Amino acid sequence: MGTVSAVDQGSGTRLGIAELRKLWSAYGHDLLVHDPGGRGECLVRRGELIATAQALDPVLDRYRRWVDDVQHDEDLLLARVRLRGAERDRCVDMARETAGVAANHVHFGCPVMYGTPVMYGTGAQAQEAPPIPEPPAAQWEPPVVVGVLDTGCDPHPWFRDRPWFEPVPEVLDADDDAGQDRQAGHGTFVSGVLLQHAPGAVLRAQRVLSSLGFTDDYTVVSGLRSLRLAAASRGEHLGVVVLTAGCHTADDECPPILRDELALWSGSVVVAAAGNHGLRRPFWPAALPSVVAVAATGSDGAVAEFSNFGPWVDAVAPGVEVTSSFVRMTGNGGRDFGFASWSGTSFAAPRVAAAIATALHERRAPEEATRLFRPRSA
């Protein structure tokens, strides 16, 4: 299967999953590599189980002596069960032993990670380029609403005067080290890709991805549900939903709570990044049959070396040196808006999502748009 790694944009080297765990653990996140170097290698929240409401009592009956804490979410009908002692390292195996419970998998953000995007137009960088044109101020009727689950969306000039815009400010320095976090600005960038190719769409941002570059099953499902509830309260229909993070799992099956939540989205087209590990191994939720999985291509149209691939990939789109809107923290803690160039399947996915949104606007079937982005081998 190959081991999980991510490309360092600055050095061109690959960071193994153990290095990523160490990197994120330095910020206080207790993470566990399951089956290091093996076929089931994946990253999970150490000592954490997720149980459905129906399964919680049986889970507690079975594991009570190892349970340290239980947190309920009444809206999600889910609970997080935190283990104590040596059993914390057995959370994946314990989840396999009992129905209705699962480990809490860590999801990777999907730019070419751990390099800094080059920001244009600020005067702060040696490498400059002219700003790219602002997307037209279009407004489609009836509206086509696109949900974006990412790091948020800042009031960049491209967005702030549009009637639908509701800022979800980016967290630029979560670790408080006086420097911009590795994936801060990611959601603003992704939203800019969408708007460039679907300028009349309504974008709804939901923060699920940390500015350090990862999230987990529980947070993604919570974000999906929050997006659904917010749309219902507005009387909106979410035509397209974009997810730019994902995970591998021990058994190469989709995490159950994520699979069950996405089953409720049959009225929307869900588009997800295929991941940047250069592997054929299924990456979730992109590999779900109901989800449009998008790999990245370079300027030659070939799948990029960093991109995941395989029969579960449904579409390919440009994902190398994409240019879009960006926000960067200034030296005094302020914000500077400009443009950046970045690579990854994160930026291929919104390109396909924009094409699907345009098809919905034109009252065409989403499949027509997806066919335009089919992999060459399909």
- Annotated catalytic sites, by residue? 150, 186, 346
Residue 35 to residues 48, 50, 87, 216, 283: CA-CA distances in angstroms?
A: 17, 20, 15, 18, 17
Element (H, E) at 249: none
Task: Let me know if 334 is exposed, middle or buried by CB neighbors in 10 A (0-12, 13-18, 19+).
Answer: exposed
Helix runs in the chain, H state only:
17-25, 53-63, 91-96, 186-197, 217-234, 256-262, 345-361, 366-371
From 218, 249, 213, 247, select the one nearest 27 (Cα to Cα): 213
- Concatenating the DSSP letter of every residue in 320-335 gives SSEEEEEEEE-TTS-E
Instruction: Name the phi and psi angles at 119, rounded to 5.
Output: -90, 135
